[in-house]
Amino acid sequence: MTYADKNKIILKRLTGYLLPVILTFLFLYLAFVNVDLNKSFSLITNASVLWLFVYIIVFFISHFIRALRWKIMVRPVKEDASTFNLFGAVMIGYGVNCVIPRLGEVYRGLFIGKWEGISRSTMFGTVIIERIIDTGSFALASLISVFLFPGNLFNEILWLRTSLIIGFASILLITVFIVIIVKYEQKFTVTIVNFIARFNKRLSEKLSSVFSTLISGFSSIRGFASILNVVIYTIIILLLYALNSYVGFFMLDMQNYGEINFAMAWVFMTISAYGVVIPTPGGTGSYHIISIFVLTNLYGFEYELSAAYALLTHFISYFVFIGSTIGSIYLINRNREKKGISKENFYSVFNIYPDQK
């Protein structure tokens, strides 16, 4: 590797780390430039402790259901996978994303692979398939929001129609692609890999690994019963996410400032989720600006109250995810240590054992 190549790699990595930070500060500035933060923090200090606890409980339940859905996908590989390990890996994934966007998906697969002694490529496959399911379900949830909103949501949010078209088209293409490589694994994947190997062997090896991962992930939800259970759990997850948003309104007594209902919470949940798609740590900044926009422009709440809601709910999720990451690793490692099994950390999970390739 030449000196110029090393510089390019370093520059690429720095750009990858700096871009999310730059976007975070930019979005935070745009979100709060016209907000009296003293008033917002005053509203937060007067938040209902009771509703705060309810919010956190619903928050945990929604992610526990996510772990149960993941267990269905892991079952073909390991029937008795620990629900607590799966839940811990889910929270670790979100916790890591709060620091470095998208890296959480990697650590999620690595930790559960080590804790359960199963193939990391299969786990990555289930994570990828789960993300595809999430993207599709949120696209459908956004479409439902169009009908739930009392006005014309497309006129209020100009980028929503385009986002839905791109989202549904992408999901359709990805689904068709995965179905093809699963159904015609030997004819399709092997042919493509062999063809590319003539020009670039390293690329063909990477492509082969990607195909293998996708096949493993997609194969995990074969069968009517599995698909039905995944659909049911996905619906429950969405409803709990909307319930979380709804409970959040009561934390700040927003019912005293305007009309609130579950339909409003559903619309807020789906639109604010687009803020998490933008690669900022834990959706910081992007979540705030979209949340404030929805509450002020769509439902007429004042900026300071909307900012207080965005700040409080985001802080809770950040605190819970980071705390759960630390707690999960500690508790699971302590349990493993009692059984005489080695502990795992953010470095050791990268070590590959023969049965975890």
Distance CA 96, CA 100 (A): 6
> According to the model, what pLDDT value does residue 269 have?
96
Please, which pLDDT band fits residue 222 given cuts at 50, 70 and 90? Answer: confident
SS (H, E, C) 178-247: HHHHHHCHHHHHHHHHHHHHCCCHHHHHHHHHHHHHHHHHHHCCCCHHHHHHHHHHHHHHHHHHHHHHHH
**pLDDT at position 354 over 50:** no
10 inside domain: no
Instruction: Give the DSSP H/E element, type plus range, for residue 105.
Output: helix 103-116
Mean pLDDT for all residues in the chain:
86
Domain of residue 252 covers: 27-350
Contact assessment for residue 145 and residue 266, using Cβ atoms and an 8 Å cutoff: yes
Model confidence over 332-342: pLDDT tens digits? 999 999 888 88
48 inside domain: yes
Model confidence over 239-269: pLDDT tens digits? 999 999 999 999 999 999 999 999 999 999 9
116 inside domain: yes
Q: Angle at Cα 198 formed by Cα 193 and Cα 199, nearest 5°? A: 100
C-alpha dist (Å) from residue 289 to 20, 151, 161, 320, 347: 15, 21, 19, 21, 35
Percent of the chain at pLDDT > 90 equals 53
255 inside domain: yes
265 inside domain: yes
**pLDDT at position 226 over 90:** no
> What one-character-per-residue DSSP string does 243-306 give?
HHHHHHHHHTTGGGTS---HHHHHHHHHHHTHHHHSSSGGGTTHHHHHHHHIIIIIT---HHHH
Task: Answer with the residue of higher pLDDT: 8 or 327.
Answer: 327
> According to the model, what pLDDT value does residue 45 have?
96
54 inside domain: yes
Percent of the chain at pLDDT > 70 equals 87
75 inside domain: yes
Where is mean pLDDT largest: 70-74, 173-177, 195-199, 312-316? 312-316
Model confidence over 8-22: pLDDT tens digits? 555 555 555 678 888
pTM: 0.88
Pick from 7-21, 85-99, 217-231: least confident: 7-21
Q: For the residues 121-146, what does the mean pLDDT come to? A: 89
Task: Answer with the residue of higher pLDDT: 211 or 101.
Answer: 101
3 inside domain: no
In the chain, how many domains are there? 1
**pLDDT at position 310 over 70:** yes
The CB density around residue 98, as the number of other CB atoms within 10 Å, is 19
Task: Answer with the residue of higher pLDDT: 352 or 281.
Answer: 281
C-alpha dist (Å) from residue 82 to 1, 233, 338, 345, 350: 44, 18, 16, 18, 21
Q: For the residues 79-91, what does the mean pLDDT come to? A: 94
C-alpha dist (Å) from residue 19 to 151, 280, 354: 36, 8, 37
